[in-house]
Structure 1
């Protein structure tokens, strides 16, 4: 009973310590996960787990180790923001692996990538012909950034001088059967208007609608709970 209580208390300490350190270190740890970030994340998590369950040792040394690791990561992140020298040695630099349709073999050897690995990354980007690639850059987090040659890139409305209407971000009017009154007021509409809109799509009440969106061009998307019978619908308001 006493050991369970100790584990409970230490788990709370480790949980909130990790929460605080995660907030301090920011989203970079998960948004751009480099090999260094991966290793530090595992190590910090391992120390926190030991702090929680290792009852043969005192909690204080584990907490100090957790603090030191988080502090060092914070210092290195600060150094990365101040200059590229530290970042170069910790995270490395992006490497060009394809140049004008040609594979840079020496770069592949330097980054310890096989041709099969490169082809796999290309296929994940919907590229099956290397000759279509102008540049392919292997980023520091292992992702592959690709610039296709201009003659194989899809034509956009801008290329042919076609003007397109601005859509902007869609606003939620109904979510999980509940009316988002703040967004409804933002577009200068009321619940009666919204009820008429969903009735025009075959729904009798707000409770029958899972999601209702409206974009800047006044086009609505409505999805109800009857997806097995009826699909969501789109309609432009008059």
Structure 2
């Protein structure tokens, strides 16, 4: 067999076998790497290259070497899952770089990290002043995670006492002008409903690049033709306006009647409806 043909066969075999082994190792191998995972990636890559190009050696020996190495990796990962001491020994542990707003210089030296590199990592987290950081930690993967001081943390609805609707995964129901029937059924809708919604906004199905439905049933579409402006859905705004009109009508009825019982009923109904509108404000204005 010619050398070039053998190299092709060896390479294809190595790629296929490497793919299978990587699937066995799991997604951790393509995420942030620990020390051992970093060594594993280099070693497996080197062994796969040897299997592909070293035509003077027996190719199956490289396959055996790859298999043994992967078995060792899987065993070590299993050991790490079962034992924290093993995790600390193999992958080390996280290192505190900033505590109570104070940079720990000794820990920076331990991780061979300069102050410029620390500031660079903070900037990646959109923090440009070290004084804003309450706590910073270098993970075993080398990533630095931070917690800002209370006064520099962004405002959230919970801090403001504002209720927000629960966020549910949006469903993609149109891709490249094709209706995705399974996600459509997941939200309890059918194709007829989708066509009616597209008619409301004056859009044809074949012009839709992407279509999604949010947790509240609102349809968002992105069109192939970027010159066409898609109107925003107004159902919730219309519903809020209708409720406010009913509330105003109840107040008007209470002022217009001389019957004390009817007046009291209209006033109470108006107050109750006003409270309902306040409770649902975060839904109706979303």
Question: Same fold, TM exceeding 0.5?
Answer: yes
RMSD: 1.8
Deviates more, 1:178-187 or 1:93-102: 178-187
Higher CA-based Rg: 2
Q: 1:235 aligns with which of 233, 237, 241?
A: 233
User: Take 1:233 and 1:7, find their aligned partners in 2: how far apart are those partners?
Assistant: 58
| Number of the residue aligned with 1:9 | 9
Structure 2 gap ranges (5+): 237-286
| Number of the residue aligned with 2:208 | 209
| Number of the residue aligned with 1:21 | 21
Residues 232 and 23 of structure 1: is their aligned pair in 2 closer, same or farther, counting only changes over 3 Å? farther
User: Take 1:74 and 1:234, find their aligned partners in 2: how far apart are those partners?
Assistant: 52
Tell which has more relative contact order, 1 or 2 (C-alpha 8 A, sep 6+).
Answer: 1
User: Take 2:121 and 2:54, find their aligned partners in 1: how far apart are those partners?
Assistant: 42
In the superposition, the TM-score normalised over structure 2's length comes to 0.77
Q: In proportion to residue count, which structure has more strand?
A: 1
1:84-141 superposed Cα distances (whole Å, 9 cap, x missing partner):
2222122111011001111100000001000001000000001111111110001111
In the superposition, the TM-score normalised over structure 1's length comes to 0.91
Which ranges of 4 or more aligned residues in structure 1 deviate by more than 6 Å?
none
- Matched residue SS, 2:147: strand
Deviates more, 1:136-145 or 1:52-61: 52-61
Aligned residues: 236
Q: In proportion to residue count, which structure has more helix?
A: 2
Structure 1 segment 49-198 matched on structure 2, within 5 A: 49-198=49-198
User: Take 1:26 and 1:71, find their aligned partners in 2: how far apart are those partners?
Assistant: 13
* Residue pair 2:201, 2:230 contacting (<8 A) in 1 also: no
- CA displacement at 1:35 relative to structure 2: 3.2
- CA displacement at 1:172 relative to structure 2: 0.9
